[in-house]
């Protein structure tokens, strides 16, 4: 692997993480309730406004259904991130104290995020008034992802961590229309994910340091296989969200409206969960250091997910 051009350290990631203190109960519950008169997702991720055959009310409902899926899908990915981190930390518990503590802190934060997303989902289900179907169960998705090479999984996680950064900074932070509670969820998640992205970068580098060029190239292939698996899941979630919208509104969409809906929302899901991470400059720079040609390969594929 080529020399590292960042200054991430376990010690600094741990110190930054220890300064952030929030509890799930500080963010949701009691009188802190979702406001269903407002959108939950930024338009750049939801992409509902271009669906001109939907009324304003229906577009807001779809935005909220996409918000519900966001809660579930983050729960899904964090359910494979958590065991992966514990497995990564476990063999070196006697090593660098900062490394051990940084990874355990990272794992503990992901467990808290799983809890946070679940709590938001409970509130959503109670107040939205109907159940929205979702992919899963998360344990089965986790099993399929974790069956791949650790470097492939670590790359997927790295992409997700940088993706979370771009969601908040590029789309959420300055959006004044969003429900303040949903925005607070995304903000608090982002605060801790900033350290995760750095720790994941160190994790990818330490895994790759013990691998040959050929092994790394194979792991990049497996990273793409996991991406294709997740893409199929997202497509299924897009179908479920459509069913939820039809159920919630009682609307009948024509064949051409359905085609348009699916094209727009398939890409919206791809961009939200895959493209916005694949194109993140820090993810691409890790890929470039990892393996000759890996960055170019991903850059060629990325437009299909944007
Ligand atoms: Fe998280
Ligand atoms: Fe994370």
Sign of CA dihedral 95, 99, 101, 104: negative
At residue 282 the predicted structure's pLDDT band, cuts being 50, 70 and 90, is very high
Q: Does 1 have pLDDT greater than 90?
A: no
Q: What is the mean pLDDT of residues 178-183?
A: 98
Cα–ligand 2 centroid distance for 153 (angstroms):
13
At residue 5 the predicted structure's pLDDT band, cuts being 50, 70 and 90, is confident
Summarize pLDDT for 146-168 with one digit per residue, the tens: 999 999 999 999 999 999 999 99
State the ligand closest to the CA atom of 196. 2
Mean pLDDT computed over every residue of the chain:
96
Summarize pLDDT for 119-150 with one digit per residue, the tens: 999 999 999 999 999 999 999 999 999 999 99
Cα–ligand 2 centroid distance for 254 (angstroms):
40
Separation of alpha carbons 133 and 76, rounded Å: 14
State the ligand closest to the CA atom of 188. 1
Cα–ligand 2 centroid distance for 167 (angstroms):
13
Residue 156 has a pLDDT of 98
Residue 3 has a pLDDT of 47
List, as ranges, residues with CB under 5 A of the ion ligand 2. Answer: 193, 196
Cα–ligand 1 centroid distance for 107 (angstroms):
9
Q: What is the DSSP string of 114-158?
A: HHHHHHHHHHHHHHH-S-------HHHHHHHHHTS-HHHHHHHHH
State the ligand closest to the CA atom of 113. 1
Separation of alpha carbons 38 and 225, rounded Å: 37
Q: Does 63 have pLDDT greater than 60?
A: yes
Cα–ligand 1 centroid distance for 196 (angstroms):
8
Separation of alpha carbons 52 and 164, rounded Å: 29
């Amino acid at each position: 692997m080529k020399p590292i051009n960042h200054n991430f350290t376990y010690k600094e990631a741990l110190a930054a993480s220890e300064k952030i203190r929030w509890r799930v109960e500080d963010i949701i519950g009691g009188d802190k309730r979702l406001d269903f008169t407002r959108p939950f997702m930024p338009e750049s991720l939801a992409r509902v406004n271009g669906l001109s055959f939907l009324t304003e009310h229906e577009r807001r409902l779809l935005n909220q259904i996409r918000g519900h899926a966001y809660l579930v899908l983050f729960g899904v990915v964090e359910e494979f991130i958590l065991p992966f981190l514990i497995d990564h930390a476990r063999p070196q518990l006697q090593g660098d104290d900062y490394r051990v503590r940084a990874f355990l802190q990272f794992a503990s934060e992901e467990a808290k995020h799983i809890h946070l997303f679940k709590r938001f989902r409970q509130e959503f289900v109670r107040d939205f008034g109907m159940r929205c179907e979702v992919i899963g169960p998360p344990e089965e998705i986790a099993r399929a992802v974790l069956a791949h090479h650790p470097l492939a999984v670590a790359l997927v996680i790295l992409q997700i961590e940088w993706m979370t950064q771009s969601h908040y900074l590029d789309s959420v932070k300055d959006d004044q229309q969003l429900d303040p509670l949903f925005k607070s969820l995304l903000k608090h998640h982002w605060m801790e994910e900033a350290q995760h992205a750095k720790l994941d970068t160190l994790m990818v580098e330490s895994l790759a340091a013990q691998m040959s060029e050929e092994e790394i190239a194979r792991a990049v292939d497996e990273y793409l296989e996991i991406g294709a698996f997740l893409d199929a899941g997202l497509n299924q979630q897009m179908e479920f969200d459509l069913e939820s919208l039809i159920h919630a509104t009682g609307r009948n969409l024509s064949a051409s409206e359905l085609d348009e809906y699916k094209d727009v929302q398939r890409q919206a899901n791809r961009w939200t969960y895959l493209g916005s991470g694949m194109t993140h400059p820090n993810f691409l720079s890790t890929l470039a250091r990892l393996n000759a040609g890996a960055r170019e390969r991903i850059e060629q594929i990325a437009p299909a997910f944007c």
